[in-house]
Structure 1
Amino acid sequence: MNQLAVNNVSLLFAVLLVVVAVVISAKEKLGLTRDIIYAVARTVIQLVIVGYILKYVFQLDHAVFTLAMCLFIIFNASRQAHKRNPHTNKQFMHSFVAIFTSTVITLAILIFSGSLAFIPSQVIPITGMIASNSMVAIGLCYKHMHTQFHDQRQQVLEKLALGADMKSAASPILTGSIRTGMQPTIDSAKTVGLVSLPGMMSGLIFAGVDPVHAIKYQIMVMFMLLSATSLGAFIAGYLSYKNYFNARLQLTI
């Protein structure tokens, strides 16, 4: 089996790839040089710390530590999704409930079906994949919802004036927001294998696994992500759209 060799010297040469981005930012005056350097520094520090933590958790192989690590991932994904909500009346629990529910349901199906074993080396990475994709979908849902409530404010007010309830008045915005959150995953599923060889499949191929065998894992991952993003966007959308109305059914934006 072929092994992918990445040593410290290789990583130093890989820094040249970052230099390319910095040069482009400086040359075109994009104002992103500081952000790129900061992002790279955070990437290195965070991954090194997480790498040592995961090594310890994997060796320990204890259910409590595995669940704690999964909950830590879900919490951080929820915090990032919450930050992406432009609405001033946003609530953290909406993001947390959406990501927690979508992650737990998807993980439970994979574990009980036998596709995934409840061991740290499998559960924790898959939890990260599910939570991160759900986070992105929820962030897109929040941004689209805020924009549409702002742009369609008059239409919503007219529906309310004509006797529509909160759900009916916001239904087109809610539907569009959930669709926006799900769309990137759907587009990715349409082009997988034709345009991109995603992370799970590429990682297995790098490790020397038969590409035909790696495809099965990637199919499982795509199904998993479609489930997670749809559940996450759906739950977050239905929980958060009510924040745009007060007790008198008046828009707060």
Structure 2
Amino acid sequence: MSLIALSFTIIFVMFTMLISVWQKLDLEKDIAIGTVRSAVQLLLVGYVLQFIFNSDHPALIIAIVGFMITVASINAGKRGKGLRWISLYIAAAITVTELLMMGLLLGLGIVEPTPQYIIPLSGMTIGNAMVVSGLFLNQMKREVESSKGEIESLLALGATPRRAFQDVLKRSVKSSMIPTIDGMKTVGLVQLPGMMTGMIIAGADPVEAVRYQILIVFAFTSSAAITSILLSLMTYRQWFTSDMRLRSL
């Protein structure tokens, strides 16, 4: 795609801003800022990846993956405002998920140990884990608020925090995985996923593109389950005070 053709895509943004003005949504500023930021960020990432791909140095790969985990953890941590060290817990859950996913992919020889495979696959895994973490924390807040009486009754009867929270944790984990599972059920029927579409546009064999997309779908489902379960196990005590009362967020 030429730069001239790419510049024409600004028409989509302008159309969206006009709709915002017409409907008095007051989103023009956010859309403009988002447009500039996304363009600048993606261009910078493109040059950074080009440099890393050319250098092929393990330290640079680890650095970029670590940076992605840090940003994802901070962003998802905003959903758990009021919980102590929540971003660190999210970072730990995402790191374990990333190590398991890449360990299996590389250890079984499913993908080659090169930056061209490791960084994009890590980015998609980490991004999916970030979304799942945010959904889990949002659902936990709703569940704790709606089940406050039940939880406090169980605690008063001598239940441990884990036992009092067991049903809440189960519902929150299930809720955080719904988008991933729904996407898995409808992939190829409702939407053609980004990786598959990108490979086809780039000229790859559609069957080969489908194989890689199947890999991503299965990895996403597994990473979503691992992330949400780990996060539930590591953070449930953060909802309680030192004297085992529910914390007010």
TM-score in terms of structure 2 length: 0.96
Q: Residues 163-190 of structure 1, C-alpha deviation per residue, up to 9 Å, x if partnerless? A: 1110111111111111111111110000
Indicate which of 117, 125, 130 corresponds to 2:120: 125
Aligned to 1:238: 233
Secondary structure of 2:152's partner? helix
Alignment partner of 1:224 out of 219, 222, 231 = 219
Q: 2:12 aligns with which of 14, 17, 20?
A: 17
Matched with 2:47 is 52
- Cα contact 2:72–2:127 (8 A) shared by 1: yes
Q: Which residue of 1 aligns with 2:132?
A: 137
Runs of 4+ with >6 A deviation: none
How many pairs are equivalent?
248
Of 211, 215, 221, the match for 2:210: 215
Distance 1:89 1:25 in 2: 38
**Aligned pair 1:167/2:162, yes or no?**
yes
CA-CA distance at 1:223 after TM superposition: 0.7
Offset at residue 90 of structure 1 (A): 4.8
CA RMSD between the two structures: 1.2
Structure 1 match to 2:194: 199
Name the residue aligned to 2:180. Answer: 185
SS in 1 for 2:9: helix
Q: Percent identity?
A: 33
What displacement does 1:77 show? 1.0
Higher relative contact order (CA 8 A, sep 6+): 1
Assess if the C-alpha contact under 8 Å between 1:78 and 1:96 holds in 2.
yes
Q: Aligned match of 2:80 in 74, 77, 85?
A: 85
1:3 alignment partner in structure 2: none
What SS does structure 2 have at the residue aligned with 1:248?
coil
1:126-162 per-residue CA deviation (whole Å, 9 max, x = no partner) reads: 1100000000000000011012111211111111111
SS at match of 1:84: helix
Pick aligned residue for 1:37 from 32, 41, 56 = 32
Q: Secondary structure at the match of 2:247?
A: coil
Q: Secondary structure in 2 aligned to 1:250?
A: coil
* Shift in Å, 1:88: 4.4
Q: Report the TM-score when normalising by structure 1.
A: 0.95
Aligned equivalents of 1:88 and 1:25: distance in 2? 36
Aligned residue in 2 for 1:112: 107
Residues in 2 aligned to 1:113 and 1:35: alpha-carbon distance in whole angstroms: 44
Distance (Å, rounded) in 2 between the aligned partners of 1:86 and 1:72: 21
Deviation at 1:68, TM superposition (A): 1.2
Give yes or no for contact 1:90–1:240 (8 Å, CA) kept in 2: no
Does the CA contact (< 8 Å) of 2:136 and 2:228 recur in 1? yes
Distance of 1:232 and 1:121 partners within structure 2: 24
Q: Work out the CA distance in 2 between the residues paired with 1:163 and 1:106.
A: 39
What runs of 5+ residues in structure 1 fail to find an aligned partner? Answer: 1-5
Letter in 1 for 2:152: L
1: CA distance between counterparts of 2:188 and 2:213? 10
**What amino acid is the match of 2:18?**
V
In structure 1, distance between residues paired with 2:62 and 2:84? 31
> Which residues of structure 2 form unaligned runs of 5+?
none
Displacement of 1:69 after TM fit? 1.1
